[in-house]
Amino acid sequence: MAILGGAMLEARDLRKSFGELRAVDGVSFDIERAESFGLLGPNGAGKSTTISMLVGALLPDSGTVRLDGDRSPSAPATRREIGVAPQDLAIYEELSAEENLAFFGRIYGLRGRRLAERVSWGLELAGLSGRRKDRAETFSGGMKRRLNLACAAVHEPRLLLCDEPTVGVDPQSRNHIFESIEALRADGCTLLYTTHYMEEAERLCERVAIMDHGRILALGSVPELIAEHGGAATVEVELAEAPPSTAVLPGPLDGLTLRVQTEDPLPAVESLGGQGLAIKRLRIDRPDLERVFLNLTGRSLRD
């Protein structure tokens, strides 16, 4: 693949309707080489539909996708560089873990020793080395999900698209998947990751696009998004006794609880301490992506 300048993936004004429903309604973004990019949005936001258009599995009503310079996503040579872990499991239940990996490796052109190496790598990634010969239908949901991801990465793609790879996965498997993805990232793989868990986006993605109703509402790094749309932090102080009447409170008092909205929470806490207030409990809520989403849409990410 020629090393060209420009983005690894370029989406311009993608639109897709299903009948009356505008599933994707003018989505544009770039993903730089070796970047990890997140699409964060609630159910039905249009994340999966966007991914399908990005990889050429679904024809957009309008808009363009360009990969690695100016190549179309449906050219075989481009596709060889892409891996997709679909949201709906896409493995052969009647084949073993090993056979699934080998089959997907082969259709991407891997053969012989290289194939064998990649298959072991995939089994390792999926944590299924001990069950390589077992059919996928005998695996738990989390194991299948891990195999689903490994099948997408077995051919060493330069761009990996993961569509909610952690749904229905226990915390331990989820952690395993995060580590695997971080390992792929370390090898220079570009990542597009969709999720409706803000912690995942915060942990894995350098930049995040917040999506709702087929549109991107905000796009930037996590600190940028929080700074721009998160609003102030909240300092919540529970007092042990009523404050002396001389005290100058920075916010309204509700019984013995004091709430302060501030961009900069630490100085605010210091000044409260300086006034000699008897503090029983102190809580600082910094804004997060959840808050960003709430501020942008008036709804929370998950109901």
Partner 1 sequence: MRAVWTLAIKDLRLLVRDRVSLFWVLAFPLLLALFFGSMFGGDEGERAAMKVVAFDESGGAAQAFLARLGESDAIEIDTAPSLQEARDRVRRGERVAFVHVRPDFSDGSFAMFGRPADARAPVALGVDPARTAERGLLQGLVTQALFSGMTESLGDPSRMLDQTRKVRAQLADAPELAPQRRRSLETLMDALDQVSRSNDPSEPASEDAGGAVPMGEALVESVPVDRDRSGKPRSPYEVTFPSSIVWGLMGCATAFATTLVRERRAGTMFRLRVSPLSLAHVLAGKGLACMLAGLGASAVLLAIGVIALGVRVVDPLLLGLSLVAASACFCGLMMVMSVLGRTESAVAGGSWVVMMPLAMIGGGMIPLIAMPPWLLTASNASPFKWAIFAIEGAVWRDLTLAEVLPSLLVLLAIAVGLFALGVTILRRREG
Collect all residues with Cβ–Cβ distance below 8 Å to 191 and sequence separation of at least 6.
Answer: 35, 36, 37, 159, 160, 161, 162, 181, 184, 185, 204, 205
Of 222-281, binders to ligand ATP (CB under 6 A) are none
Could you tell me if 232 and 262 are in contact, meaning their C-beta atoms sit under 8 angstroms apart?
A: yes
Minimum distance from residue 22 beta carbon to ligand ATP (Å): 8
Residue span 23-62 as binding mask against Mg ion, x where in contact by CB under 5 A, dash where not: ------------------------xx--------------
Instruction: Pick the closer one to partner 1 by CB: 64 or 295.
Output: 64
Backbone angles phi, psi at 239, to 5 degrees: -90, 150
Position among 1, 4, 6, 21 found at the interface with ligand ATP (CB under 6 A)? 21
43 interface partner picked from ligand ATP, Mg ion, partner 1, none, CB below 5 to 8 A per type: ligand ATP
Q: Does 47 bind ligand ATP (CB under 6 A)?
A: yes
DSSP alpha helix (H) spans, the chain? 47-54, 76-79, 97-107, 112-126, 141-153, 171-186, 198-204, 222-229, 265-274, 289-297
Minimum distance from residue 79 beta carbon to ligand ATP (Å): 21
Q: Does 23 bind ligand ATP (CB under 6 A)?
A: yes
Binding interface with partner 1 (CB under 8 A): 55-57, 59, 76-77, 79-80, 82, 84, 86, 88-95, 99, 103-104, 106-109, 135, 151
Classify the C-alpha dihedral 240-243-244-248 as positive or negative: positive
Residues pairing with 195 in the sheet: 40
270 interface partner picked from Mg ion, ligand ATP, partner 1, none, CB below 5 to 8 A per type: none
Interacting residues toward ligand ATP by CB under 6 A: 18, 21, 23, 41, 43-49, 87, 164, 196
